[in-house]
Amino acid sequence: MSIAREAYRALESIVGPEHISEDPVTCRAYRTKSYRRETAYETICMAPECVVMPKTTDEVQRIVRVCNRYKVPYTPTSTYWYATSSPKKPNELMIDLKRMNKLEINDKHMYAIVESGVVYGQLQQEALDRGLYTMVSGGGSQVSVICNHINQGWSPLNYRTGLIGRRTLGIEWVLPDGEILRLGSLALNEDDYSWGEGIGPDLRGILRGASGWMGAMGIVTRLATKLIPFQPERLEPTGISPDTTLMLPQNRIRWYNFNLPNRESLERAMYELGWHEIAAAATKVPVLWRYIARAKSKEDFWRLWSQVTPEEIASTHILRILVVGYTSEEQLDYEERVLMDIMERLGGEFRRTKPSDESWIKNADSAGMWWMTGGYVSIEYVIETIQHGVKQGVAIADLKKKFVPPLVNDFGDPGWFQAVELGHGDYSEFLTYWDPDDKEYYKADQMYLETMKLNIDKGFYSSFLNAQPIWLTGPAFGPNYHLWQIRVKKAFDSDNLSNPPGLECYDEIVERSDHLTRDWEKGSMEEVV
């Protein structure tokens, strides 16, 4: 199979013969990428029939128009780490945006304009060089800044920087039909990216959706993101792989680890940090991650982890806090004194920390999630209140017991959660690990589905709605949000060409998988008007 010859020739005329390929070798190299690949997503993901690599917005626009003219389904990608961004329909075109890698920083107004191929590590360093900073996604420094901004944008640093939607400014957006829409101040002045809310249209809510459309709403080619003033000292890169790290200037940035007596005091500590408006980040870290950090090899990890007891997990409530003296050394001293007061009152026991960072400021180790087992997926992630995060984590940990093994036993650890926006919110994420060669690997998918049902049953929220069966979660969370999402999608992309099946992706996965059973009523996108 291949895309229509007329369409191919039209695409070739746009990018030139050197930037288009339908060779089976190229297409195979673009087959399903990693994240979620080892799950039931594998049943739906396939190689594209053609790959095209535009360099400019104009080329993107013309490519999308050709797709609409010849009804060629297309999937945009840049760093392409997520199986959801894999082609899922026959005869798809993959639009690889990695050549679009311009980055401009406006020092005066403290924002950066990025194209699709720019990744967080690059943006963060160029911001740091100017005394500014941004967050780096939990997915890692290798994540495309644009993709992450129009998707989720979670990071421990959101505690201070605020959620990503609030920092997203002017946007240049090639709609699914090829029209260009400029949002915010960009709508009136093509050089002004400084404001997201107008005077021009502000459709960021639609663009970002519940937690992103994964390329099902066209292609954002340029986006501006707000940068935040940082402290002035240099973070010195040190070490040789695998032990590379940023040395933190101790007069300005320090880590603090405290083990709290119980979950309630940990939750209380998170609130109190926010009430006193101190710290740059505050996270409860899964115990398993601490063992990953200590291990020298995969085998070493399993030797260490085999000695862990349920009692150790039950009594470990580590709160990891980053404090930054943004304005002065005195700020750091003040915040440290307040922190110590809070911890003394709550019984926090100080634990040793390193004067360096390799995972929050310039995240370099997210790929290590796969290191110990070869299989990893986040079962759930949510932005809600701290209280919600704690309760949901405990409930999911309890559910997980049904699926251990094959899932790695972490003895009821309720996952990772962190305070967001000075404690006004919480981000929590529940992770699972397994051996992809295990014959019962599919139980990871079963737990994934069971978690959605648990959320519905217990009234927990989910931010993972872009990767769930909409006909299961839509009626429960909406009761009609899924219908409105479908209507929006149809309004922008009537032929459903942009990363199909889009909204119904996980519904199709459930239908195709031998190990997942649908026990809810399924509607049809076609019938929604």
Partner 1 sequence: MVNPPKLEQYQYDMERCIHCGGCRWVDHIYTPGVRFGVKCPSIARFEFDEYAAYGREEIGLALLKGELDYSPRFIDAVFQCQLCGACDAGCKRNLDLEPLLTLETLRARCVADGQGPLPAHKKVADNIAKTHNRYGSPHKNRPQWLADDIKPAAKADMLYFVGCASSYTATSLAQATARILQASGAEFMLLGGEECCGYPLYATGQVDAFIKQMERNLEALKKSGASTVIVNCAECYKTWRVDYPKVLGKSTADMGFTVMHIVEYVDQQLKDGKIKFKNPVEMKLTYHDSCNLGRLSEPSIYWEGTRGKYGCLEPSKEYRRGTYGIYQPPRDILAAIPGVELVEMYRHHENTWCCGAGGGVRDANKDFALWTAQDRLEEAQDVGAEAIVSACPYCKENFSEAIKNGKEKLKAYDIVELIAQAMKVRGGKR
Residues that bind partner 1 (CB under 8 A): 19, 21, 23-26, 28-31, 33-35, 37, 51, 53, 79-81, 96, 98-99, 101-103, 118-122, 124-126, 129, 140-142, 237-246, 297-300, 302, 358, 362-368, 370-374, 435-437
Q: Output the smallest distance, CB 438 to partner 1, in A.
A: 8
Tokens coding 371: 């290191």
Q: Dihedral, CA atoms, 473, 478, 480, 485, nearest 10 degrees?
A: -70
Q: Output the smallest distance, CB 142 to partner 1, in A.
A: 4
Q: Output the smallest distance, CB 437 to partner 1, in A.
A: 8
Give the nearer residue to partner 1 in terms of CB position, either 68 or 79. 79
- Inter-CA distances, 3 with 94, 428, 517, Å: 11, 42, 34
d(CA 362, CA 121): 6
Q: Output the smallest distance, CB 194 to partner 1, in A.
A: 21
Q: Output the smallest distance, CB 297 to partner 1, in A.
A: 6
Give the nearer residue to partner 1 in terms of CB position, either 101 or 316. 101
Q: Output the smallest distance, CB 314 to partner 1, in A.
A: 24
Contact (Cβ atoms closer than 8 angstroms) between residue 224 and residue 301 = no
Beta partners for 349?
A: 259
Give the nearer residue to partner 1 in terms of CB position, either 1 or 240. 240
Question: Alpha helices, DSSP H only, in 246-319?
Answer: 263-275, 287-294, 298-305, 310-314
Q: Output the smallest distance, CB 377 to partner 1, in A.
A: 12
DSSP label at 467? Answer: G
Contact (Cβ atoms closer than 8 angstroms) between residue 188 and residue 182 = no
Contact (Cβ atoms closer than 8 angstroms) between residue 124 and residue 358 = no
Give the nearer residue to partner 1 in terms of CB position, either 244 or 331. 244
Give the nearer residue to partner 1 in terms of CB position, either 358 or 380. 358
Beta partners for 322?
A: 255, 281
Give the nearer residue to partner 1 in terms of CB position, either 34 or 250. 34
Give the nearer residue to partner 1 in terms of CB position, either 260 or 372. 372
Question: Alpha helices, DSSP H only, in 143-284?
Answer: 145-149, 158-161, 164-167, 204-208, 263-275
At position 406, the amino acid (one-letter code) is P
Give the nearer residue to partner 1 in terms of CB position, either 467 or 510. 467
Closest by CA position to 144, among listed 86, 83, 186, 81: 81
Q: Output the smallest distance, CB 129 to partner 1, in A.
A: 7
Closest by CA position to 103, among listed 145, 147, 163: 145
d(CA 405, CA 449): 17
